[in-house]
Amino acid sequence: MNGEVTEALKQKIIEHLGTVSKAKNKEVAKALGIEKHLADKAIGELSKEDRIEYIYLDTSYIKLKGK
Amino acid sequence: MGTTDIGPPDYHTMLPGVIKKNYGKWKYHEIIRPGVLKHVSETGDVVYTVRVGSPRLVSVDFIRDICDVADKYCEGHLRFTSRYNIELMTGDIANVDKVIEAVKKLGLPVGGTGACISNIVHTQGWIHCHSAATDASGLVKSVMDELYDHFTNMKLPALLRISVACCINMCGAVHCSDLAIVGVHTKPPKVDNEKLAAVCEIPTTIRSCPTGAIRRHPDENIKSVVVREDLCMYCANCFTVCPAMPLADAMGDGVALYAGGKVSNARKPPMFSRMIVPYLPNNPPRWPEVVDIIKGVVNVYAEHARKYERMGEWIERIGWETFFRLTGIPFTEQHIDDFTHAVETYRTTTQFKW
Amino acid sequence: MDENTPLLDELEKGPWPSYVKEIKRAAKKNKAAKDLLGIQELSYKDKVTHWKHGGIVGVTGYGGGVIGRYSDVPEQFPNAASFHTIRVNHPGGWFYTTKALRQICDVWEKFGSGMTNFHGSTGDIILLGTTTENLQPCFDALAGIGFDLGGSGSALRTIAGCVGPARCEWSTIDTLNIVHDLTMEFQDEIHRPRWPYKFKIKASGCPNDCVAAIARADFTIIGTWRDSLRIDQNSVKEYAEKGFDIHKLIVDRCPTDALEWDEKKKELTLKPEDCVRCMHCINKMPKAIRPGVEGGATIMIGGKAPIIKGAYLSWVLIPFMKMEPPYHEMKELLRKIWDWWDEHGRTRERLAELVERVGLKRFLREMGIKPVPQMVFKPRANPYVFFDKK
């Protein structure tokens, strides 16, 4: 659980989101092979930086901003 | 995007001075009279709390009225309890009577302490809920009007917690209350085939049913479901996932009554409330049938239970058969459990009373 | 619009404070509140609710905190046609300054119906009734005065705790701090629903459990102690001198027969190894008996109301856990539970239902928690045991 959020990690998430229309946090964690908690943290930062956005269809998804 | 995820204000910023100073240092408390607590700290400081009943569903002007009292006598602080009571705190005993006078002027009762009936935890009911099988605020008002004296005095064997839930989702600790009023449906859902095809996911709807009563519509051309009515116990879980299956029915909806639950670990472990009346019709605005039975049970309990005995502890001691005899409430086939953990409730001993 | 409300007017009578009077107060200033009164009267006449399933409404960036609500009689009551609820996360312990409360009132008078619940069953401040257009400006105004939304849907719900050490001598843990710390840590989990169903956390400072954590929380934190409760013999004597029947009301009522009363010496002694910390003697003799000093919490899981498979009381998971900020051990445990539940849970399956379905044994294994007898009332009676097939 002690992984740090780095710009490189965030970039990987952005790249992954480029390949899908939307994704759940846990799908991102699985695709990148990282801890779910770390993915949550990175995704939270990406959202604050306005690089991704949340969409809600029964559950929470993320997607690239404006995609 | 605007500011998000700031969370609630830090509680430190909300605490009155005497609370902040004596945080974690409280030594003991006493109830100096119904509705008034005195807490004494290791530091020698004292705080008096006046507990005030509230209807919970209130206008902003109600909150402002309470704030006026708190500004005048409580240094601009107050708190609420988990049962919606308002607590006005002061370090100065001279302010206690002034606070009481001020809240009485607002038409609010002082009480809710010790061996009493405190405020009724309840849900939204017809005021705001789509799945309500009964109203909540009106039931609370009707019951509390009749049991008012039990809020303002402390003459019961033990505290008695009442809850109201407007459907069996039971928002509020209704399933563990001394007395509980629960809104129930008694008619199966009415399936709107056209709407269902448009707004509901059929597999999810089928899976939502805990008794497997929902099947795909036999006609393949109709994208909908059918309900096996003999398997439906009206839980409305299907309606929650699929709005095209409403259960609400003016004639069928009503309330069930439960008794004997508690959450406290004192003496006996926590207990579930058990059904005492399977169904009473909705009879607004005052639900007289419900109020009568609740009042009757409270009176029988007050007369028979030993000091400190909660409703459920009393019933366990005397036995449910005695409870039904003393209260005169008829025991019916609906009282016998036939759901998931039913067998645990069957009597596996020859010990019982006549 | 029909302003005649004969049924509701009945509920203005009687000694208990009337919510109908409150709606009428709000109705004088606000058209939506006026129509709310009309809709409520209609429900009293028709004996059914006039609210429909909520649509998806909310504020930017959040998947919850707002309950969408539309009336099924919009022509008759156009001002309450959409009447959404906003859940506002309360400060821990429900303490307020009047300044903060007045600010909330001002915001809600501007953007909503002026009707509120102080509080909802889960603990939020409930702002009852506004339009879709007003949601975002109302949220922004609330953020401006330092308040944020609570949880709704398949998310972590607003965390609540009892008054705790702020004004209670029995609390063995700092419930306000635990609630605030977890709330701040898990903002994402509160605001962005992504689980099978709702998840509730409640903290009570002692086994009296004033917030009903054991009945209502998937994750239940209840204050307890590991040493012996404390008895002040001088105060015990005072109780006895005042005629309080210690033998009958305290010793005889102790569930595990852990207390002894010496009538001659007027002395009360405890066999600490027999005490189960039920709180009875402490509750009834608060001046003389107090909890121990080696405080911590019993962590329990699974409490919930009946939907779907029946009601559950929380059961013991960790008999004793130290509760010191920043609560790493508890947070790790919570994350582990959530990930596991999210992986294996079906839609609308609460934690207790999932654990019952797959078995507590598997849950404990996957959490890495060693089974101890404190977790059960009694061991199994049947012989149907799964052993590892190696």
- Give C334-375 pLDDT, tens digit per residue: 999 999 999 999 989 999 999 999 999 999 999 999 999 999
State the DSSP string of C352-363: HHHHHHH-HHHH
Predicted confidence (pLDDT) at residue C241 exceeds the cutoff of 60: yes
| Cβ B218 vs Cβ B289: under 8 Å | no
| Cβ C158 vs Cβ C190: under 8 Å | yes
- Looking at residue A24, its pLDDT comes to 93
Mutate to test the interface with C, among B3, B6, B10, B11 (most CBs of C within 10 A): B11
State the DSSP string of B68-86: HHHHHHSTTEEEE-TTS-E
Q: pLDDT tens, B52-66?
A: 999 999 999 999 999
Predicted confidence (pLDDT) at residue B190 exceeds the cutoff of 90: yes
Q: pLDDT band for position C308 (50/70/90)?
A: confident
The stretches of chain C forming alpha helices (DSSP H) are 6-9, 19-27, 31-46, 98-111, 132-144, 175-185, 187-191, 213-216, 233-241, 246, 280-284, 328-344, 351-358, 360-367
What is the distance in angstroms between the Cα of C58 and the nearest Cα belonging to chain A?
A: 10
- Looking at residue C1, its pLDDT comes to 45
Residue numbers in C near B340 (CB within 8 A) = 309-310
What is the distance in angstroms between the Cα of A45 and the nearest Cα belonging to chain C?
A: 11
| Cβ B246 vs Cβ B196: under 8 Å | no
Tokens of C160: 């609540």
Residue numbers in A near C58 (CB within 8 A) = 56
Whether residue B26 lies within 8 A of chain C, CB to CB, comes out as yes
Per the document, the length of chain C is 390
CB contact under 8 A, A60 and C193: yes
Mutate to test the interface with C, among B127, B164, B341 (most CBs of C within 10 A): B127
Tokens of B164: 């109201």
- Looking at residue C46, its pLDDT comes to 97
Q: pLDDT band for position B28 (50/70/90)?
A: very high
Q: What is the average per-residue pLDDT within C27-39?
A: 97
- Looking at residue B341, its pLDDT comes to 81
Residue numbers in B near A44 (CB within 8 A) = 5
- Looking at residue C389, its pLDDT comes to 77
Whether residue A47 lies within 8 A of chain C, CB to CB, comes out as yes
Q: pLDDT tens, A4-62?
A: 899 999 999 999 999 999 999 999 999 999 999 899 999 999 998 999 999 888 789 99
- Lowest-confidence segment of A32-41, B140-149, C41-50 by average pLDDT: A32-41
Q: Smallest Cβ distance to A36: which of C58, C193, C339?
A: C339
CB contact under 8 A, A59 and C154: yes
User: What is the separation, in whole angstroms, between the first and last Cα of chain C?
Assistant: 75
- Closest by alpha carbon to C340, among C360, C320, C315, C316? C360
State the DSSP string of C73-138: -TTT-GGGSB-EEEEEPPPGGGEEEHHHHHHHHHHHHHHS-SEEEE--TTS-EEEEEE-HHHHHHH
Name residues whose C-beta falls within 8 Å of residue C125's C-beta, 6 or more positions apart in sequence: C87, C88, C89, C90, C104, C116, C117, C118, C119, C147
Q: pLDDT band for position B2 (50/70/90)?
A: low
**Residue B333 burial by CB count (10 A; 0-12/13-18/19+): exposed, middle or buried?**
exposed
Q: pLDDT tens, C161-179?
A: 999 999 999 999 999 999 9
State whether the Cα torsion B297-C313-B144-B116 is positive or negative.
positive
Predicted confidence (pLDDT) at residue C313 exceeds the cutoff of 60: yes
Whether residue C184 lies within 8 A of chain A, CB to CB, comes out as no
Q: Smallest Cβ distance to C11: which of B168, B285, B307?
A: B285
Q: pLDDT band for position A1 (50/70/90)?
A: very low
What is the distance in angstroms between the Cα of B243 and the nearest Cα belonging to chain A?
A: 14
CB atoms within 10 A of CB C383: 5
- Lowest-confidence segment of B81-95, B148-162, B335-349 by average pLDDT: B335-349
| Cβ C114 vs Cβ C66: under 8 Å | no
State the DSSP string of B111-131: ---SSSB-PPEE--GGGT-SS
Q: pLDDT tens, C50-105?
A: 999 877 789 999 999 999 999 999 999 999 999 999 999 999 999 999 999 999 99
Q: What is the average per-residue pLDDT within B67-75?
A: 98
Q: pLDDT tens, C180-208?
A: 999 999 999 999 999 999 999 999 999 99
Phi and psi at residue B106, to the nearest 5°: -80, 0
Q: pLDDT band for position B340 (50/70/90)?
A: confident
Residue B263 one-letter amino acid: V
Predicted confidence (pLDDT) at residue B1 exceeds the cutoff of 70: no
Residue B336 one-letter amino acid: I
Mutate to test the interface with A, among C62, C192, C332 (most CBs of A within 10 A): C192
Look-up of token digits 């939304």: C149
Whether residue A50 lies within 8 A of chain C, CB to CB, comes out as no
Q: How far apart are CA B4 and CA C148, in angstroms?
A: 8
Tokens of B233: 């116990």
Look-up of token digits 């390949």: A19
Residue % of chain C over a pLDDT of 90: 95
CA B92 distance to own-chain centroid: 34
Q: Helices C132-144 and C98-111 meet at what angle, rounded to 10?
A: 160
Look-up of token digits 């710390």: C181
Q: pLDDT band for position A2 (50/70/90)?
A: low
Q: pLDDT band for position A67 (50/70/90)?
A: confident
Name residues whose C-beta falls within 8 Å of residue C96's C-beta, 6 or more positions apart in sequence: B14, B77, B78, B79, B80
Predicted confidence (pLDDT) at residue C387 exceeds the cutoff of 70: yes
Tokens of B122: 């309840």
| Cβ C85 vs Cβ C67: under 8 Å | yes
Q: pLDDT tens, C153-162?
A: 999 999 999 9
Whether residue B6 lies within 8 A of chain A, CB to CB, comes out as no
Q: How far apart are CA C99 and CA B69, in angstroms?
A: 13
- Closest by alpha carbon to B141, among C193, C85, C15? C15
- Closest by alpha carbon to C87, among C109, C108, C103, C73? C108
